[in-house]
């Protein structure tokens, strides 16, 4: 029974992989439309926050200017989250920190590469080495945060016992 629970620790990571896969299965038009809609919402929210009255034309212009960055930030974020979830699964299953950091990093970068390969079969999409790099940057940031976080926890635990 304990083994089943340990395997269940990977379910959140598998779910996230499914989310990433579903985004990659969107056509270029669908993906672009989603990115544009999110960019418009960001501009509208910024306008409300700063009490700006923006006309539709200005909202569209600003949304077009930030859309690329929104897309790439989304790539990095989804792979950072995947990295955290994979690390959680390894941690629960008793992997040593260095090992789960390394294995998790490699696994997530390989998943990013296969995700780009998957996009080569989707209309209006194609594989991009740059996107694998951006996804991998999200993996790297999450891995560094996990490593630093683990070291801080260890340091704080050591101070508590002295």
State pLDDT tens for residues 9-61.
999 999 999 999 999 999 999 999 999 999 999 999 999 999 999 999 999 99
Dihedral, CA of residue 36, residue 125, residue 136 and residue 21, to nearest 10? 90
Instruction: State the pLDDT confidence band at 161, using cuts at 50, 70 and 90.
Output: low
Percent of all residues in the chain with a pLDDT value above 70, rounded to a whole number: 98
Decide: 16 and 111 in contact? Cβ < 8 Å. no
Please report, for residues 116, 119, 122, the alpha-carbon distance to residue 20 in angstroms, rounded to integers and kept in the order given: 11, 11, 14
77-100 residue pLDDT tens: 999 999 999 999 999 998 888 888
Residue spans per domain, the chain: 2-30+74-160
Could you read off the pLDDT of 92-128 as tens digits, one per residue?
Answer: 998 888 888 999 999 999 999 999 999 999 999 999 9
Distance CA 136, CA 76 (A): 7
Question: Do the beta carbons of residue 140 and residue 105 sit within 8 Å?
Answer: yes
User: Tell me, what's the pLDDT at 125?
Assistant: 93
Confidence label for 162 from pLDDT (cuts 50, 70 and 90): low
Confidence of residue 142 (pLDDT cuts 50, 70, 90): very high
Provide mean pLDDT across the span 147-153.
Answer: 91
Q: How is residue 53 written in tokens?
A: 């009255």
**pTM surpassing 0.95?**
no
For residue 82, with 0-12 CB atoms within 10 Å meaning exposed, 13-18 middle and 19 or more buried, which class applies?
Answer: buried
């Amino acid at each position: 029974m304990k083994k089943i629970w340990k395997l269940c620790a990977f379910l959140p990571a598998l779910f996230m992989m499914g989310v990433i896969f579903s985004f990659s299965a969107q056509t270029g038009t669908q993906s672009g439309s989603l990115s544009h809609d999110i960019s418009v919402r960001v501009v509208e929210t910024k306008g409300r926050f700063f009490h700006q009255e923006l006309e539709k034309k200005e909202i569209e212009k600003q949304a077009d200017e930030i859309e690329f960055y929104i897309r790439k930030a989304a790539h990095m974020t989804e792979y950072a989250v995947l990295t955290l979830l994979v690390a959680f699964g390894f941690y629960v299953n008793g992997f040593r920190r260095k090992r789960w950091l390394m294995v998790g990093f490699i696994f997530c970068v390989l998943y990013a590469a296969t995700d780009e390969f998957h996009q080569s079969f989707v209309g209006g999409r194609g594989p991009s080495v740059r996107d694998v790099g951006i996804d991998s940057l999200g993996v790297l940031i999450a891995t560094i945060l996990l490593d630093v976080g683990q070291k801080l926890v260890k340091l704080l635990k050591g101070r508590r016992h002295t």
